[in-house]
Amino acid sequence: MTLKILTVDDSKTIRTIVKRAFSPYDCEVFEAENGVEGLSLASKIKPDLVVLDLTMPVMNGVEMLEKMKADPTLKAIPVIMLTAESGRDNVLRIVKLGVNDYIVKPFKGEQLIQRAEKILKLEPKKEDKTDELLERYISQKDSYYIINLPDKITKVVMVEIENVLKKTMESLAKTGICLLNLLNVADINVSLVKVILQVIEECQKNKVKVKLVGSQQMANELKGFSELERLPIYTTFEDAIA
């Protein structure tokens, strides 16, 4: 079921960031510029989550939240509050308002999704963007498929890789081997380890062997992660195929 997310913020920039954060998921994002518009839209669409700014003209986030809590048809809707102020008093005030969670600006889209996932079950978007994703992540060398990871691994990338694997697993299974290209990855971090393990696990289920291709420096650094310490990393595709 497509989830309805309502972003209420006077800044188009923040509404755009919220929309972009939810874009890989099966969600429809509705926008309102202030509390008055937000309340009206919330009554109409009954969203599954409201991402509500605290400071807005016309009607601010506190007033909108109070009105939602006073309305039997809206009071159960979860709310994540956004605020530019991280001071102790402000945080205490927000917590007392009865919000499900709050995020202090500046924030990254990934942070919002992490918080939303504590409240909702977000599913990858069903919309068929297969061709675009395949073009971005999959290439071929001889008869082997290569899964190309981008320079930065984000939550969005992890969801997209999950979708790509679902779409290509049948083809990968026919060759029995796939190459995971780490040569473009700039940062070695926990997200990268997670996505490598995600690919290996999914491929193992389908009896596909994964060979990692990356720089020598990356091979050395990934050995620091216990989950990957025994996994060989080849420095060229030729070595991996041989």
Interface residue list for other proteins (CB under 8 A): 10-14, 16-17, 20, 55, 57, 83-90, 104-108
Beta carbon nearer to other proteins, 17 or 153: 17
Spatial contact of 81 and 119, defined as CB atoms under 8 Å apart: no
What is the nearest approach in angstroms of other proteins to the Cβ of residue 92? 11
**Before 72, cis peptide (omega within 30)?**
no
What is the nearest approach in angstroms of other proteins to the Cβ of residue 11? 5
What is the nearest approach in angstroms of other proteins to the Cβ of residue 162? 21
Instruction: Give backbone dihedrals phi and psi of 56, rounded to 5 degrees, phi first.
Output: -145, 150
Beta carbon nearer to other proteins, 96 or 207: 96
What is the nearest approach in angstroms of other proteins to the Cβ of residue 151? 11
- Between CA 30 and CA 38, with CA 32 as vertex, the angle to 5 degrees is 100
Q: How far is CA 76 from CA 39, 97, 235, in A?
A: 14, 13, 54
Beta carbon nearer to other proteins, 59 or 173: 59
Beta carbon nearer to other proteins, 107 or 237: 107
Spatial contact of 42 and 6, defined as CB atoms under 8 Å apart: yes
